[in-house]
């Protein structure tokens, strides 16, 4: 069975989104895993999720991802200006960190990573969000 989770770095939260991935206005990372029958549990609404032991491994990996990418998370959260190359480099580092951390846990059989939502790539001063207006 495939399980997809949405990683929201700004909120430091994750959500199960299988089978449909919602459209988002915030930067999200979708990670899809291949899970064995015994690795899956079900909510009271009959929605699939990781069994408790597997979810603990995922949470540990997710905490590491958040911690190791704190600087970029703050840049995204504060809508800071960065050169094009720096945004792309930081996004690549983030995706690499997600992959590396999740692969440290053999029980997490990662099969796909997607980025979705609104990721900044190029922005000038005129494109800065002014939250006071």
The pLDDT, as a whole number, for residue 22 is 78
How far apart, in whole angstroms, are the C-alpha atoms of residue 18 and residue 111?
Answer: 14
- The token pair that represents 87 in the structure block: 């945004």
Q: Looking at 77-86, 92-101, 116-125, which range is the least confident one?
A: 116-125
Does position 21 have pLDDT exceeding 90, yes or no? no
The pLDDT, as a whole number, for residue 127 is 65
Q: Which residue's entry shows tokens 């069975």?
A: 1
Which residues make Cβ contacts (< 8 Å) with residue 46, sequence separation at least 6? none
Which residues make Cβ contacts (< 8 Å) with residue 24, sequence separation at least 6? 6, 116, 117, 118
Does position 19 have pLDDT exceeding 90, yes or no? no
How far apart, in whole angstroms, are the C-alpha atoms of residue 14 and residue 100?
Answer: 18
Q: Which residue's entry shows tokens 């690549």?
A: 92
- The token pair that represents 65 in the structure block: 């991802």
């Amino acid at each position: 069975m495939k399980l997809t989770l949405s990683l929201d770095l700004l909120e430091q939260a994750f959500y199960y989104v299988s089978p449909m991935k919602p459209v988002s206005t915030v930067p999200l990372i979708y990670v899809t895993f291949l899970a064995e029958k015994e690795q899956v549990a079900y909510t009271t609404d009959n929605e699939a999720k990781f069994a408790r032991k597997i979810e603990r491994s995922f949470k540990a990996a997710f905490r590491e991802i958040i911690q190791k990418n704190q600087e970029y998370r703050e840049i995204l959260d504060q809508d800071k200006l960065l050169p094009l190359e720096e945004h792309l480099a930081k996004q690549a580092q983030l995706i690499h960190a997600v992959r590396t951390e999740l692969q440290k846990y053999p029980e997490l059989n990662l099969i796909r990573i997607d980025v979705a939502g609104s990721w900044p790539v190029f922005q000038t001063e005129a494109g800065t969000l002014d939250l006071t207006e």
